[in-house]
Structure 1
Amino acid sequence: MGRQILTPSAGHALAGQIETYASGRTDLPDDLIRTLEEDARTEDFLSQTLDGFGAMLRQREARPWRRPPQEVEDLTGPTDALPPVPGIPPKYPGQPWQDSVFHELRAGQLAFTRLSVVDRFGRAVNLIEDELHFEPVLPDSLIPDHPTDPLAPARLIELGPRFLQPARLRFDFLAATHDEDVTLTPGANPVCAWLLNNRLDRTLVCFDPHGTALGELREVLDPSGDRIVAWAPLPGSRITELDQLQPVSPHAHAFLDAIRRRGPAVLHAVRATLDDALTTIDPDGPQDPSLGFLLGRPLALVRTRLDLELCGPARTTVAWSQVADPPPPALSDYPWFVRLGDPHRTDDGLIAMITNDDYDRLDTVVDPVGEHDGFLHPIPTDGEPPFTVSFAGDPVHTTLLVDPRVPVHATTDVLPTGTVHIPQEFTVRALARMAVAFRAGPLLADEAHGTALIPTPATAAGTWTWAEPTTDGWRTLPLASPEPTATPFTHPDLRSGYLLLGDAVTAPAARTDHTPGEHA
């Protein structure tokens, strides 16, 4: 039982939300926005929150009360907090106190039994004549799926789980090599590696956290004639074998090795699935169509940690009969689902994830493409997410493959959505120094004044160079296209190597003005 003052604040709040939404859109007519705002302000909306309900559930007195004497307040502390309700006092002498009921969560179904409206002059009207037939108009989220009263289910209102003490979802970056909190570890970088789908060569390219090319996974023929996936080092890389990557970036090694062991079908399924996921973030692709044919977007492989934290210890009952020896709280062990990413949002950058270092399973935000031998699993958008967290102090560690241009969202439905966005200090320089390698050769090409005379591909962005292996490493030459009318090569060489495209991958722009319906 309680009293609430109804106000027309809902219309003004709705008008403010319309104005905020329209401020980021340039395609909406000003007259339409002004009309919607004025209609919202003048609409006959009355609303108010249900104050004191949560306090009652956690055994606190929300009604006005007298301040205790100074000597009592000195013992109990400041009285700005709501006082406890340890029980219901007896009505008659000799009767025992009745314990008040404690709830660790606000979750259940309620129904109105009495509801009256009182105007400013004190005149009242009772809105409920028969409580079994009072059926409020509810949104879908408040309609019970399993009514507790089968006789009159339409009168019930379902309230989802909510915590009765301050809590938060921790969603933090971890250092790539030792899983320490990035914000507490000087020099730590959450990026384990950068991965890029080379569409032209049909390979999965790996760069180190600073943007230096390490190698790629490609389909090759083994000596027996079978098709396998092998690691191929790229120009300038010292990682000649995939196992050499393990001490440098253990999580990047585990991810790539899981793909390599499963063969060409899984490699191409992963590449195709990554491309499909990118269309949910950047539907129109790159500004240069020629680059869109050659390569995908660089994706960051990062380490994160998710956990739930309470402000202080979990609360327990203050009932008279249990206050000295309260039962242990059950809230700490409750599992709560966490959903990472959202394929329906163009402002969410999650592509795929690995949970708790289980590199035999890759969860993707879109349905897998191709034959993947059970390696790929779509993250359900309606069903149960692949993992849970709790307040027991057992965090979940994840390895995420993300688009660095936009943040990743973690949704619990019981707490505000958590987000992580890779700081630009870890992305700008790495993306600027990336050079994508395309295998070429053997081809006839001459060299003049330290420049390789090879026809260069026509792209609107980037600088092309030539790299070829030598006995002591790699040799890099600038490229120049031979003149069509020039004298043919007198002594051309048969060359095999890589065409290197630099300055084509730029740093992600900050997206602070994103609105629904726009692409990244």
Structure 2
Amino acid sequence: MRLLAVPVRVDALWLATDRTATGPTADFTRLPYLDAVTGRDANTDERFLSDAILPAPFQQDLLLPAGIHLHWSLPDALTRLTHVATTGGTRPAVDLPRVPNRWLVTRTRPDGVQDRWVVESDALTDIDRGSVVHPLLDADPRGSTGRPWRYLGRRLPLSAWPGTPTDRLAALTALDYGEPTFAAFYPNSSSVFGHHDEEYGAVAPPDGLRYDVVGWYVETADDELLAALSTAGDRSWSDTLADELGWSVPDNGGIPPARMVCFGRLTFASSAKRAPATGPGAAQESWVWVANTASEALAAHLGAVLPGVTETDTEELLEALTFADELESSTLDLPVRLAQARHESSFGTVAAGTVWTVRRQDDPLDGNGDGSVDGNGTGLGPVSVEQRQARERLTLPAGFGDLLVALNEAQSGYDAAAAEVTGARQRIFADWHRYLVCAYPQQGRSDYPDPDLVAMYLRREVSALAGRLAALGSWPPVGTGTGLVHRLLAARQAAEQALDTVNVAASTARSRFALQQVPGTPYQLANEPVVLLTGAAATPSDRYGQDGADQPDGLLPCAVLDVPGLAGADLGGPAGVRRLADFTGALATKLAAAEPDHPGLRSWTDQPWHPVLLHWEVEFFPARAGNNLDPAGRDFDPDFVTTNYTLPYGDRELRPRPENDVLDTGANVYAGSTVLSAAARPVLSTRILRYLRGTPLARANDERQAAGLPPITADQLDADPAPLLGWCAAQTGDPRLGTLAAAHRHLAEHEESNLAQSLGGFNDALVMRHLVRQLPIIDPTGFASGRALAALVDQAVAGQGRHAPVPLSDFNPIRAGALRLRRLRIVGSFGVGYDVDVDQPRTTSWLTMPNRPTWVAMPPRLAVPARVRLDLLDADADAVDRPVSGLPDSSPVCGWLLPDPLDDGLRVYATGGDWLGTLYLAADPAQPGRARWEAAPDGPVTDVGLIGNLRLRTVVERLRGLGASGLADFLTGLDDALEAVGPADPGQHQGRAMLIGRPVAVVRLALDLTASGLPAIHQDWNVFRQDLGRTGRETNEYPSVRFPVRLGERGRLGDGTLGYWLEDGRGALGDRYHDVVTLAEADGDPPLTVGIDLPARTLTVLLEPAGAIHATTGVLPTVSSRLDPAHHHEALARLETGFLAAPVLTGADTLGLVTPAADPDRVWSWRERDGAGWVETTEPPELADTFPTGLTAREGWLTLRQQSPA
């Protein structure tokens, strides 16, 4: 039989004596259950909760006995999740390959004597023989004890195998019951993918001692090789293995292998260190850096260790490389954009529902005849020129924007209610958790609430959830109703019906309009702090996810072996296994021939070290003033953030007020554990080379060419960057290049001694909850009423029970203060831990606390997903604050203002660009306290009250009320603001801009801070007692805390915010106009604040139309909004301006004027009054060559306006 030998890595931990280690991820033997033999409850001192079986961080309760502990890895292809189609092929599901369930372990002594054992990885038994514990899944055999768990895996000498028949696991995978570290962590899988040799304990393993491990599938139906080959199609079998599994085979001819076996060999080398397993680098120096991201921590580390550089400058330089693609076009405002990019990188996104839009869908152009057919199956042929032109003339029906807004409002309401339903389900699960604690108190604890009272509270919550579900409805709705889902369906049908009407006409152009769902603006959640570890302990493991990493083709080298006389069925019995065992030497020879330094053939030279877990413990010191720790009042002060922090202009981060001692002395201690991820390793060296491949490489090659040297190609740079790095180091005129060269060399030298990982679970800990895998909602030892309650709760939770409450902690939903590391422990694959020295941690320049160098500043962040919405409002919606629909006919522009320096006034224009009139810097004769208004020539708006748009009228009334002097001050500030805002396209219409100035858009917007779902609640036991007697839950009023908002970004190119008025709840303008330039120069607190529970703030903003509006809070990433070109391009093109020309000496009967050159689409016009009204002369003639005979003094308006279409 032909076999495919796939290498596995075998590691060995040698212990001279017993030692304690970190135990398995969960201890299922502590679960309560009804003993089927005795009929009595077992483990009655525990609750059926994950808390009962999960070890605490830093807990070490596993005793590893002396001897050699073997642990083998699985090929990467057998550990990766894949997406497969479910029934119908419409929805992907996640699948995990089966893994070999039989392993033959052969020990060969130096004298050639061999011992062999068979490890049955899928064996399920009820007797503890040192096997790991497996929680029973639905498909697993139950056994006869009534336990919810059984022992998994057993080992037998080959001479005694197969032994007594036993039950088998339904499906063995690398995750077993769903634990990500199952196969990777020896305490989880020691009897499944491991072997303990007791013989070599106090006696050190001799030189040349060898272990061979061979694994195979009992059933060919489980063999992943055969599953992959079944997808070959037209590919060769070797190409199929390369494509599907990432495996290479040197001899790709002949028939494909019939089975696969895994093989690994480990030989104790003569130079091996027989040292105790104390963890790596016990005597080596290690450092800890804390930052918002892995790249930020690494940049800070390099800034400290590289010679001759400053930490801050190096940190900023290396961080700029991280965002090089985004910042490539930014030069003048690079520091501003870099600061924003770094701030944004400290957040992650959380999905937030969907938004509806409309898209035009065209048939293919079909110029080559691609076979498009109509509904009758008739060929449509190529799209004609007339059809293409007709497509461009298609428009949506009138009023469709209102339907689209209504649809999005219905969708938003549905999504928000659905998120609250999820939050309610999670609260019910947390209270179920509390119920079990109350119903089954641990010995010596009797101060919990009455479980009957908690049960009644749970039923009340379930009833309230039913009300929420009734109001929400389920999609798709059935029949009629008043639920949110029915409103959503009605809004969608109304929009679709409107589109059906226009699509009848659009069909002739072979096009149609269709509704489309796109992701909504996501919520943002602050990243959990990241620790960068350096030194030997921080060596990332090459055991997992590295198959083929050292091969040119990136494939894992395998071998094909023919074993005569072996049939597939033989591998189920001793004879076939012995036959296979006789070929282990041939297997090793084959693998060595495939690759001299083959990953499956290894020598034991030292105790293995493969980091798998990180245990962490930190202290958090919250900001003091107004926090929720005051015994006299546990609610947050609404000014908690603004009292402790300020938002300096030009900064993206909230900074502690220097006059306050921000931190509270009462520290909160949080702890957790997380799986170390190889993907978290920084890749800064790659970014450095990518940058150097640009301009620096071109400059270096220019010098080399001048010196007669050949250029350095990109491929040569990738293979050997030393020549270019040497050139960079010599560039004394540009020290940045020398810094980059030094950084790359340092990274190359220490690439394998740094590991970055976030403190997973920190955000959840701040809100007193723990995200862990939860047990099913049952009460196995309870009375009938308890089991009925469990069924009721299980139905209500509906799979949303992911967070367990942590009542013995502190509630910090606003992460504002400082952090101090207390403990860090890296746990290796065998459970051996290494405690990292955290006495002198370092951090970035952004997070450094000058008076406390070992602490890390924690600027204000919300510990729950939230977002800032910046919505432009429809200018025509006077009665309601309705957002724009996103379509061209829904504009946020209420009108236009244009400073008129020639006539000392402010011109006012309608949304479409029609000139309405001018406010002059002169007192109104009838009302001296108000500025004078004059209608545009031939215009009907003789009074401000006649301006059609309510919002524009409100602004003009406010400006008129300033009086002549007040209006003059306003225009001075507006000119300064426009001067500070660079035009988006300085080369466009320069001549016209010199004549008419720069128009200013009057827009309205809504600014809102929202959080996802229901607010986080206080989980303390005393608080819960109070919650039992009231309708609401305790949040310490954190949703009412206000956060400052800076509107506009002076110094950032592309920001067009000039100033704004805050509006009250009735839409009236506030008393003050807030000029962005004046606010920036004052560097005080922004006048605008938002809060989760506060209503959205509406503002009227003056905006340079080509620029964006930026809103910065510090607590969340900066958000922005800008006008669609459709909302200002045509209006600005129509915008007409003019100036009074008086007196003009011209002929009595003819008009002759000297006018500047106009843009091609603009014409000059002369307007003057006669007895009947205004008379307009378009394109007045130039002055005649001869002096006019009859001079007449005329007075009129010289106007520049858009040329009428021909």
Query: Offset at 1:484?
Result: 5.0
Query: Offset at 1:364?
Result: 0.7
2:1112 to 387, 405, 411: 411
| Aligned-partner residue type, residue 864 of structure 2 | Q
2:845 to 115, 119, 139: 139
- Superposed, 1:165-244 pairs within 5 Å as 165-176=864-875, 177-183=878-884, 188-220=890-922, 229-244=931-946
- Superposed, 1:334-353 pairs within 5 Å as 334-353=1041-1060
Q: Does 2:17 align with 1:17?
A: no
Does structure 1 conserve the Cα–Cα contact (< 8 Å) formed by 2:843 and 2:856?
no
Q: Does 2:1069 align with 1:358?
A: yes
Query: Offset at 1:400?
Result: 0.2
Equivalent position of 1:57 in the other structure? 766
Which secondary structure does the structure 1 equivalent of 2:763 belong to? helix
Does structure 2 conserve the Cα–Cα contact (< 8 Å) formed by 1:407 and 1:420?
yes
Equivalent position of 2:962 in the other structure? 262
Equivalent position of 2:1199 in the other structure? 500
Query: Offset at 1:411?
Result: 0.9
**Take 2:956 and 2:1143, find their aligned partners in 1: how far apart are those partners?**
28
Does structure 1 conserve the Cα–Cα contact (< 8 Å) formed by 2:847 and 2:856?
no
**Take 2:1148 and 2:756, find their aligned partners in 1: how far apart are those partners?**
79
**Take 2:778 and 2:930, find their aligned partners in 1: how far apart are those partners?**
82
Does structure 2 conserve the Cα–Cα contact (< 8 Å) formed by 1:15 and 1:40?
no
Q: Does 2:1023 align with 1:331?
A: no
**Take 2:329 and 2:1038, find their aligned partners in 1: how far apart are those partners?**
42
Query: Offset at 1:328?
Result: 5.0
Does structure 1 conserve the Cα–Cα contact (< 8 Å) formed by 2:774 and 2:802?
no
Equivalent position of 2:837 in the other structure? 127
Which secondary structure does the structure 2 equivalent of 1:154 belong to? coil
**Take 2:742 and 2:325, find their aligned partners in 1: how far apart are those partners?**
13
1:100 to 1:124, Cα distance in 2 relative to 1, 3 A = closer
Q: Does 2:1176 align with 1:465?
A: no
**Take 2:993 and 2:1129, find their aligned partners in 1: how far apart are those partners?**
21
Which secondary structure does the structure 1 equivalent of 2:1074 belong to? strand
2:813 to 104, 123, 144: 104
1:301 to 973, 998, 1002: 1002
Query: Offset at 1:293?
Result: 4.3
Query: Offset at 1:470?
Result: 3.9
**Take 1:456 and 1:23, find their aligned partners in 2: how far apart are those partners?**
40
Query: Offset at 1:272?
Result: 2.3
Runs of 5+ unmatched residues, structure 1 = 88-98, 148-152, 368-377, 505-520
Which secondary structure does the structure 1 equivalent of 2:958 belong to? helix
Which secondary structure does the structure 1 equivalent of 2:1060 belong to? strand
Equivalent position of 1:443 in the other structure? 1144
Deviations 1:338-371 (A, max 9, x none): 110011212211001011133542111113xxxx
Q: Does 2:953 align with 1:249?
A: no
1:161 to 1:360, Cα distance in 2 relative to 1, 3 A = closer
1:285 to 1:203, Cα distance in 2 relative to 1, 3 A = farther
**Take 1:291 and 1:421, find their aligned partners in 2: how far apart are those partners?**
24
Query: Offset at 1:332?
Result: 2.3
Query: Offset at 1:160?
Result: 2.0
Which secondary structure does the structure 2 equivalent of 1:111 belong to? strand
1:46 to 1:100, Cα distance in 2 relative to 1, 3 A = closer
| Aligned-partner residue type, residue 444 of structure 1 | L
1:474 to 1:141, Cα distance in 2 relative to 1, 3 A = farther
Deviations 1:50-100 (A, max 9, x none): 21101112222245665666987944645576322254xxxxxxxxxxx44
1:106 to 1:159, Cα distance in 2 relative to 1, 3 A = same
Question: Normalising to structure 2: TM-score of the pair?
Answer: 0.35
Does structure 2 conserve the Cα–Cα contact (< 8 Å) formed by 1:456 and 1:479?
no
Q: Does 2:789 align with 1:85?
A: no
Q: Does 2:976 align with 1:276?
A: yes
Equivalent position of 2:654 in the other structure? none
Residues paired across the two proteins, number = 466
**Take 2:742 and 2:1168, find their aligned partners in 1: how far apart are those partners?**
69
**Take 2:952 and 2:937, find their aligned partners in 1: how far apart are those partners?**
19
Equivalent position of 2:481 in the other structure? none
| Aligned-partner residue type, residue 323 of structure 2 | Q
**Take 1:222 and 1:24, find their aligned partners in 2: how far apart are those partners?**
48
The two structures, once aligned, show a CA RMSD in angstroms of 4.0
Query: Offset at 1:254?
Result: 3.0
1:254 to 1:343, Cα distance in 2 relative to 1, 3 A = same
**Take 2:856 and 2:1045, find their aligned partners in 1: how far apart are those partners?**
25
Equivalent position of 2:68 in the other structure? none
Query: Offset at 1:399?
Result: 0.6
**Take 1:64 and 1:214, find their aligned partners in 2: how far apart are those partners?**
66
**Take 1:127 and 1:59, find their aligned partners in 2: how far apart are those partners?**
27
1:478 to 1:239, Cα distance in 2 relative to 1, 3 A = same
1:381 to 1:344, Cα distance in 2 relative to 1, 3 A = farther
1:219 to 1:190, Cα distance in 2 relative to 1, 3 A = same
Equivalent position of 1:93 in the other structure? none
**Take 1:492 and 1:270, find their aligned partners in 2: how far apart are those partners?**
41
Question: Normalising to structure 1: TM-score of the pair?
Answer: 0.77
Which secondary structure does the structure 1 equivalent of 2:323 belong to? helix
Equivalent position of 2:19 in the other structure? none
Deviations 1:87-144 (A, max 9, x none): 4xxxxxxxxxxx443333222322122245678896836424xx5xx35344244527
1:63 to 1:392, Cα distance in 2 relative to 1, 3 A = closer
1:255 to 1:416, Cα distance in 2 relative to 1, 3 A = same
Equivalent position of 1:429 in the other structure? 1130
| Aligned-partner residue type, residue 350 of structure 1 | T
Which secondary structure does the structure 2 equivalent of 1:114 belong to? strand
| Aligned-partner residue type, residue 816 of structure 2 | A
- Superposed, 1:363-374 pairs within 5 Å as 363-367=1074-1078
Query: Offset at 1:228?
Result: 7.1
Does structure 2 conserve the Cα–Cα contact (< 8 Å) formed by 1:433 and 1:502?
yes
**Take 1:63 and 1:439, find their aligned partners in 2: how far apart are those partners?**
76
**Take 2:767 and 2:924, find their aligned partners in 1: how far apart are those partners?**
67
1:455 to 1:270, Cα distance in 2 relative to 1, 3 A = same
Larger Rg: 2
1:472 to 1:412, Cα distance in 2 relative to 1, 3 A = farther
Query: Offset at 1:213?
Result: 0.2
1:471 to 1:32, Cα distance in 2 relative to 1, 3 A = farther
Does structure 2 conserve the Cα–Cα contact (< 8 Å) formed by 1:14 and 1:40?
no
Structure with the higher helix share, 1 or 2: 2
Equivalent position of 1:31 in the other structure? 695
Once structures 1 and 2 are overlaid, which stretch shifts more, 189-198 or 400-409? 189-198
